[in-house]
């Protein structure tokens, strides 16, 4: 089995491309799993990244790299056809990681080290929700389950053992800090209008209250504003009242990512600050040209995000690296367990066949019993050294040599299903990080 991650984020492509790729990837993981092309898949889609985590079994004799290129080609074709992007462009926009490389990348992401606001904690919840959604869709394999559980443990360690993110910075908080700088008055006297009812909208509501904003209205094109405000406070705004709500608002915050952005003509005259946190844009960029209007976007947030201290980043990076190594070692040990089981099964099958011959010649006699005991002791003795050697090679990261040796000497194949079965945490070794095309 091969674990992989295909990644497009603010670090290697523009946010518009991330948005189009995310649109093209909707539902694709589920389709690939149900068709049998992938054994498992989890999709992480946020305001500034699309990450596809998957697991597949290479065809017999195929190298993991070749097999990954084939999977990437299929995904690129599907995403391209759904998003209107050229498949080659899609391939070039996705960074590829395998096995321990995929684990290391996920641990880095969930710890906030790759966020636009380094150390932000919102990403931890987003990764958790991605796993939950995949579980509900029935697309999580055992390897992926262990991978994401290990990621959650790593994020907790970073949160408790380092100062990274302890100031509570996030994309929302930085955006509201920027809005505070360009909006008249104080939060206590400002009126806010929030578009959307998802996780980002909830985080925005909480952040506004923390700053003292009490007058918050919420609009949802899907009609969920009333239910949303019942749980979180605020006042729902129906479509017919939206124009008046815009007129009242000092700060307008988009968190919905609707199918089409609101045009500049929909905004009434007058000064206001517009904050667009939606990946696919809630507002036409032309609103920035309106008199008295200040527009803050995700790109604005990324450029304004403060840097974390080098010490905090280095400490978090060390935790991530150790977690990735432990994860790979754990998977290596499970591979060797499966190999030892396969060798024992093979040897005991040979023994049972020989004992069957003895029984057919001598029947159930005392001599036959003595022969069986002697043969079983001999087999246990013969298996001792290969078992010890297996553990030694696993500790040295050379488990593939052992598994290859079993196949060469005895014709024993360790099935992928057996190698994935035992509990613990996953991946093996990093093979390659990127497809040939540049991101």
Catalytic positions: 47
The C-alpha atoms of residue 88 and residue 101 are separated, in whole angstroms, by 23
Residue 179: other Cβ atoms inside 10 A: 23
Residue 283 per-residue DSSP state: B
Pairing state between β 2-9 and 49-56: antiparallel
Displacement of CA 235 from its chain's centroid (Å): 34
Block residue for tokens 């092309």: 37
* Burial label, 286 (beta-carbon count in 10 A; 0-12, 13-18, 19+): middle
Structure tokens, 61: 């004799």
In angstroms, the CA 234 to CA 213 distance is: 10
First to last CA, the chain: 26
Torsion angle of C-alpha atoms 199, 204, 207, 213, degrees rounded to 10? -140
Are 236 and 226 in contact, with CB atoms under 8 Å apart? Answer: yes
Q: How many CA atoms within 13 Å lie on the side-chain side of 195?
A: 26
Both structure tokens of 98:
């395998």
CA–CA distance, 252 with 92 (Å, rounded to integer): 36
Q: Where are the beta strands (DSSP E) in 47-92?
A: 49-56
* Vertex 21 angle, CA 17 and 27, to 5°: 160
Q: What single DSSP character describes residue 264?
A: G
142-161 vs 310-362: helix axis angle to the nearest 10? 150
Q: Where are the beta strands (DSSP E) in 156-197?
A: 191-195
């Amino acid at each position: 089995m091969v674990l992989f991650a295909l990644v497009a984020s603010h670090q290697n492509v523009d946010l518009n491309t991330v948005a189009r790729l995310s649109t093209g990837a909707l539902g694709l993981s589920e389709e690939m799993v149900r068709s049998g092309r992938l054994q498992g898949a989890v999709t992480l889609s946020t305001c500034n990244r699309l990450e596809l985590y998957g697991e597949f079994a290479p065809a017999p004799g195929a190298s993991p790299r070749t097999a990954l290129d084939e999977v990437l080609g299929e995904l690129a074709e599907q995403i391209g056809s759904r998003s209107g992007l050229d498949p080659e462009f899609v391939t070039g926009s996705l960074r590829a990681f395998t096995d321990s490389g995929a684990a290391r990348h996920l641990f880095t992401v969930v710890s906030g080290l790759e966020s636009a606001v380094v150390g932000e904690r919102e990403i931890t919840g987003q990764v958790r929700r991605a796993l939950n959604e995949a579980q509900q869709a029935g697309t999580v394999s055992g390897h992926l389950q262990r991978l994401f559980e290990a990621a959650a443990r790593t994020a907790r360690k970073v949160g408790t053992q380092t100062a990274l993110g302890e100031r509570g910075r996030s994309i929302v908080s930085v955006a509201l800090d920027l809005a505070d700088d360009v909006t008249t008055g104080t939060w206590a006297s400002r009126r806010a209008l929030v578009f959307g009812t998802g996780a980002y909208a909830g985080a925005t509501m909480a952040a506004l209250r923390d700053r003292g904003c009490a007058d918050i209205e919420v609009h949802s094109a899907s009609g969920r504003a009333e239910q949303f405000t019942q749980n979180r406070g605020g006042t729902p705004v129906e479509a017919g009242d939206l124009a008046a709500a815009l007129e009242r608002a000092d700060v307008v915050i988009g968190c919905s990512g609707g199918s089409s952005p609101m045009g500049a003509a929909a905004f009434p005259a007058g000064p206001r600050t517009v904050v667009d946190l939606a990946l696919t844009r809630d507002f036409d960029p032309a609103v920035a040209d309106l008199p008295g209007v200040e527009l803050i976007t995700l790109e604005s947030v990324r450029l304004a995000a403060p840097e974390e201290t080098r010490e905090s980043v280095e400490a978090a990076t060390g935790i991530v690296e150790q977690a990735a190594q432990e994860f790979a070692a754990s998977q290596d040990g499970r591979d060797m367990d499966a190999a030892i089981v396969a060798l024992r099964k093979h040897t005991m099958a040979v023994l049972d066949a020989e004992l069957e011959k003895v029984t057919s010649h001598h029947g159930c006699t005392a001599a036959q019993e003595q022969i069986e005991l002697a043969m079983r002791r001999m087999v246990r003795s013969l298996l001792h050294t290969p078992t010890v050697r297996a553990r030694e090679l696993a500790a040295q990261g050379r488990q593939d040599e052992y598994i290859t040796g079993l196949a060469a000497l005895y014709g024993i194949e360790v099935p992928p299903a057996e190698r994935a079965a035992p509990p613990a945490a996953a991946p093996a070794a990093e093979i390659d990080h990127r497809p040939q095309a540049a991101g």
